Amino acid sequence: MKILRATAFTIKKLPRQHRIALFSTCAVVAALTLWQPTSPLPQTASGQRTSIDIPLGALDVLSNQRHQEVSVAPTEPQPLTEENSEPLGAVFDQEDPEFLAPKDELEQQLAQVTDVAHTHKVEPGETLGAVFEQYGLPQADMYRLIAVNRSIQNLRVGQQLEWSVDEDGRVKELTIQRSAKLADSFTLTAKGYQFKQLEENGELKPVVLTGRISGSFYQSARAAGLNPSQIQTLVQALQWRFDFGREARKGDRFAVTVEREFIDGKAVSQGDVKALYYLSGRREVFIMRHDDGEFYDEEGRSLNRALRRYPLAKRYRISSSFNPQRLHPITGRTSPHHGTDFATPIGTPVLAAGDGVVVKASKHSLAGNFVVIKHGREYTTRYLHLHRLLVKVGDKVTMGQRIALSGNTGRSTGPHLHYELLKKNRAVNAMKVPLPQAAPVPNPMRGRFVQNAQNERQKLLAVMPG
């Protein structure tokens, strides 16, 4: 006891810096003494091992730094965190053919000749930053756009944003439709973004284009005068009702109304698609755009099929959020996380987010057992690190159907479900991005819409090719 008192007195006499150094050294020695790197992970009451996620790609760094870093085996289950729930080195290439839904001839034709246009309608309370976050657009691009014209931040409910991205994921063009006549346009050039305000000074007039299927729908529609963007609009609008890539047949007839802008009798725009009447044998397909920009059938019913936000029967804690700008905690480099991770125990039922077709059901060194489902032509969902697959390629699934059991396969160091939502082959934030809903035209406006739709249908039927 006298020795301890004497030691304590001696330490108290040391300068403060020396005392701190001495205590730090003692703590490191004690930790190294307790450190058991080969000890098994602790188990929960259910017998499952607790996971400690180490970022992939950091393993070599950690092994080289063991003489500097200290790790203590936990004595109780450790919660997954934003930094370690998903291995940070396992960045899944969004263009990896193993994960992509295969493209048919129509999709390949559209991809070759037109930039994919992404659209978003401003919701209450949304800011420009919120829109960029939902769709995984570079924050750096947003600040560059603001620097060019600060008015880009002034978004109003109902305004439509449309943009395209380049091969590097940068915003290539962005347009904000401020009103029926005015739009703000930003274009990426070699010198940076350029701003231009667009104004429609002409008169909008309907123009009807007609055609007959002689080869593919795409080629026949082009021959009738439709541009790739208009074809894409029709393909997307009817993705759940009529598949132009698989169901269009030689001899089918169609008529399309587009609204073009005219100045002094001359068309100055290609125009937006307003309505389509398509006749395939005895099958009739009619759609018309409403004031909200969405297409409906003749009775005002939605053409969409809804998607659920959560691919699970109940809410599980989100252990790692969607974050395309996520930084690797060791390297400091961007290590994107294109999905949402749910801390699910092994064996948790995984549900299809919507009606669709299974296009991938396989195993990958990083993703483990995984499933990819194509929902129409606009949306795709991915489910990774699964324990067991309950579906196979070609299966048609419905919303809420069990497709797999969650697991811990592939490059994963803890049980969880990695879930991705892709819109037009680009990852978006499944927890925040607006999802399609199968709602009809609102009751107060449905009567007028139905009457206008019936009149439009008769006009198109009258000019259909014989």
Tell me: pLDDT of 3 over 60. no
Bridge pairing between strands 171-177 and 182-189: antiparallel
Tokens matching residue 178: 């401020």
Per-residue pLDDT, averaged over 161-174, amounts to: 92
Round to whole Å and give the CA distance between 458 and 192: 49
Q: Which two tokens stand for residue 243?
A: 């598949």
DSSP state of 152: G
Q: What is the pLDDT of residue 61?
A: 31
Residue 37 pLDDT > 60: no
pLDDT reading at 191 higher than 60:
yes
pLDDT at residue 109 above 90? no
| Both structure tokens of 174 | 């962005």
- pLDDT greater than 60 at residue 402: yes
| Range in 3-17, 364-378, 398-412 with the lowest mean pLDDT | 3-17
Helix (H) / strand (E) element for 364: namely strand 356-364
Token digits of residue 77: 């289950």
User: Which candidate, 27, 16, 87, places its Cα nearest to that of 52?
Assistant: 87
Overall pTM > 0.85:
no
pLDDT band at 114 (very low <50, low <70, confident <90, very high): low
Instruction: Give which of 338, 359, 343 is closest to 85, Cα–Cα.
Output: 343
The residues, ordered by sequence, that sit 6+ positions from 293 with a Cβ below 8 Å of its Cβ are 121, 160
H-type alpha helices, 76-138: 105-113, 128-134
| Pairing, β 402-406 against β 192-199 | unpaired
Asked whether the predicted pLDDT for residue 417 surpasses 70, the reply is yes
Reduced to 3 states (helix: H, G, I; strand: E, B; else coil), residue 108 is helix
Beta strands in 118-267 (DSSP E): 118-121, 160-165, 171-177, 182-189, 192-199, 203-212, 253-263, 266-267
Indicate the pLDDT class of residue 295, thresholds 50, 70 and 90.
very high
Burial (Cβ within 10 Å: 0-12, 13-18, ≥19) of residue 361? buried
Query: Strand, helix or coil at 295?
Result: strand
- Tokens representing 201? 């000074």
DSSP 8-class letter at 323:
B
Q: Among 73-82, 320-329, 366-375, whose mean pLDDT is lowest?
A: 73-82
For residue 394, what are the CA distances in angstroms to 357, 374, 385, 391? 6, 10, 21, 9
Residues 6+ away with beta carbon under 8 Å from 400: 308, 351, 352
Angle between helices 228-237 and 217-224 (to 10 degrees): 130
Measured N-to-C along each axis, helices 228-237 and 105-113 cross at an angle, to the nearest 10 degrees, of: 140
Say whether pLDDT at 222 is over 60: yes
353 pLDDT band, cuts 50/70/90, is very high
How far apart, in whole angstroms, are the C-alpha atoms of residue 466 and residue 462? 10
Q: What average pLDDT does range 178-183 have in this prediction?
A: 89
Whether the per-residue pLDDT at 46 is higher than 50: the answer is no
pLDDT at residue 31 tops 80: no
The phi, psi pair for 347, rounded to 5°, reads 95, 0
Instruction: Determine the pLDDT at residue 433.
Output: 94
Give 106's pLDDT tier (boundaries 50, 70, 90). Answer: confident
Domains annotated on the chain, with CATH: 114-199 (3.10.450.350), 203-304+441-462 (3.10.450.350), 318-428 (2.70.70.10)
Residue 193 confidence (pLDDT): 96
- Closest alpha carbon to 251 in 220, 287, 284, 208: 220
Q: For the residues 313-325, what does the mean pLDDT come to?
A: 89
Looking from the CA of 294 toward its CB, the CA atoms found within 13 Å total 20
Position 300 pLDDT exceeds 90: yes
- Whether 73 shows a pLDDT value over 70: the answer reads no
What element of type H or E holds 233?
A: helix 228-237
pLDDT at 22: 56
Residue labelled with tokens 């109940």: 314
Q: Chain-wide mean pLDDT for the chain? A: 81
**Tokens in use for 441?**
């035209």
Binning pLDDT at 50, 70 and 90, where does residue 422 land?
very high
Pairwise pLDDT comparison (282 vs 349), residue with the higher score = 349
Kindly state the average pLDDT of the residues 325-351. 82
Under the banding of pLDDT at 50, 70 and 90, the label for residue 71 is: very low
The pLDDT, as a whole number, for residue 91 is 52
Q: What pLDDT, on a 0 to 100 scale, did the predictor assign at position 330?
A: 57
User: Does residue 47 come out as left (phi exceeding 0), alpha (psi in the -120 to 50 range) or beta?
Assistant: left
Nearest alpha-carbon partner for 336 in 89, 54, 168: 89
